[in-house]
Every structure is written in structure tokens, then in C-alpha cells.
Amino acid sequence: MDIALLRDILIIFGIISGFIFLLTALILLLIIFIRVKKIIRYIEGSINEIDSLRTKIKESVPKPLSDIINGVLTIKKFTESLTKKTKKKKNKTKSSRKIKGDKNE
């Protein structure tokens, strides 16, 4: 067996294995994107269902009571957004203290 023939076989094997690797990577990426797309559709559908339930509650519950419910939901969302921001700030300060080497943490 000649060394040039062995080299040619290795080159061909490398090219074929490279194409197989690229093909499997492409297929896996497509599968991941399809699943993410399904999850996003499910979440959007859930949000739409929640909104439709909220409007049904508004229609079925008397006006003053529905205003109270909307106020409570608005306050709840507002407090949740504030707590998320404070948690993020706490995490940033903890991480900055750890970086600086503060031993009080």
C-alpha cells in the first residue's frame, strides 16, 4: 500500500465524517428550535386563556367587585416586579462583595 493512497483514504474519511457531523448538528438544532417554538406557542396560549378568564370574571362579577379584583391583581403584579428588582439588586451586591473579598457575607 502506497503512502499517498493511505493519505487519500484518510482525507476522504475526514471529509465524510465532517459532513456527517454537520448533518447531525443541523438536525439536532432543528429539533431544539422546533421544541422551543412549541413551548412558546403553549405559553402564548396560556396567556391568552388567562386573559380570556380575566375578561369572563369581569363580565360575570358585579362592577365594584371586579374593580377591586383588578386593583388587587395590579398591586400584586407591581409588588412582584419590585421584589424581582430588589432580588436582582441583592444578588448583584452579593456578587460584587464576593468579588471584592468582603468577609462579612
pLDDT more than 70, % of the chain: 75
Residue 98 confidence (pLDDT): 58
Residue 49 predicted with pLDDT over 50: yes
Query: In the predicted model, what is the mean pLDDT of residues 22-47?
Result: 91
Query: In the predicted model, what is the mean pLDDT of residues 25-52?
Result: 87
Q: Are 105 and 94 in contact (CB under 8 A)?
A: yes
Q: How many CB atoms lie within 10 A of CB 69?
A: 14
pTM exceeds 0.75 for this model = no
Residue 36 predicted with pLDDT over 60: yes
C-alpha closest to that of 53 among 45, 65, 42: 45
CA dihedral 71, 60, 57, 65 (to 10 degrees): 20
